[in-house]
Amino acid sequence: MVKKKQLLENEQLELELLLEGIYRRYGYDFRDYAKAHTKRRLEYRRTISGLNNYAEMLHQAIYDEDFFTSLLLDLSINVTEMFRDPWFYKEVRELVVPHLKTYPFFKVWHAGCSAGQEVYSMAILLEEEELKERTQIYATDFNERILSQAKKGIYPLDSIRQYTANYLKSGGLQSFSDYYTADDRHVILKSSLRERVLFSSHNLATDGVFGEMNVIFCRNVLIYFNKELQERVLQLFCESLCPGGFLCLGTKESMKFSTVMEHFEEVAAREKIYRKKRR
């Protein structure tokens, strides 16, 4: 009889082969995602697809592109909202915006932007601070499907109550309804909010530096990566930021463990806002 320890080792081997197969077949690299998260999401898909193990999943994933697309959606958790953590946006207004006001032009990068709510929140904030004309916003994600939703800026009507409450708590200066129209099922954000935004595909696990940024948002993305991949991505952000540039992480994320921390100072501890030191 195969011992329990051996079974677990075999399962681990099958999991590694599945992730290797996905990488070699499609170029998406999940090998350094947090193991517990990856297993939870794969287990969900395995069960609803009636597959017995990861070896069967590997076969299905490499021969059936639609199945792989479902896996991709499972592995890239897209949960987001407008003005998520309103107190974070309040601090951005109070601590980051005054510095941006001293620049004639600046660039903001939203890495892992999901369906765009974070991007439009920042676009609204910058418009209200009369900085829109001086801004170029880059919004990236590795999931093409979610990126095409982001470009549209159309969200379910039932989300608007939460978004409005967040906006007000974040220190919004207008009525939130100024920024959208609605039909019976959707809210459609004003197209002018997109004027300074470029949406494009970028994979934090495999792609390189993304221009000379003044502000980088990467919120609630690193949490899905293991420490090695977090370190790689934080290096990438350090190289992509101008001296004096700001890095904003999610509330459950940190760069304190990282070797790049020495290049940064903490601006707001709870909000996870860091600033790259000037040499």
Binding site for ligand SAM (CB under 6 A): 76-80, 84, 112-114, 118, 141-143, 146, 203-205, 219-221, 224, 250
From the list 15, 44, 46, the residue with the least C-alpha distance to 30 is 15
Instruction: Using the minimum distance from each CB to ligand SAM, give the nearer residue, 18 or 51.
Output: 18
| Residue matched to tokens 């011992």 | 3
In angstroms, give the least distance from the CB of 83 to ligand SAM. 10
- Residue 51 vs 218, nearer CB to ligand SAM: 218
Nearer to ligand SAM, 34 or 95 (CB): 34
Q: How far is CA 54 from CA 176, 231, 276, in A?
A: 47, 28, 42
- The nearest distance, CB 28 to ligand SAM, in angstroms, is 8
Task: Measure the CA–CA gap between 1 and 9, rounded to whole angstroms.
Answer: 15
Which CB, 51 or 237, lies closer to ligand SAM? 237
Q: Please identify, using beta-carbon distances, which residue of 38 and 258 lies nearer to ligand SAM.
A: 38
Cβ 89 to ligand SAM shortest distance, Å = 12
In the complex, minimum distance from the CB of residue 231 to ligand SAM, in angstroms, rounded to a whole number: 14
| DSSP type of residue 92 | I
- Take residue 53 and report the two structure tokens written for it: 């193990």
State the pairing for strand pair 273-276/197-201. Answer: unpaired
How far is residue 143 from each of residues 109, 150, 203, 229, 255, measured CA to CA in Å?
Answer: 16, 11, 8, 18, 24
What is the smallest separation between the CB atom of 43 and ligand SAM, expressed in angstroms?
18
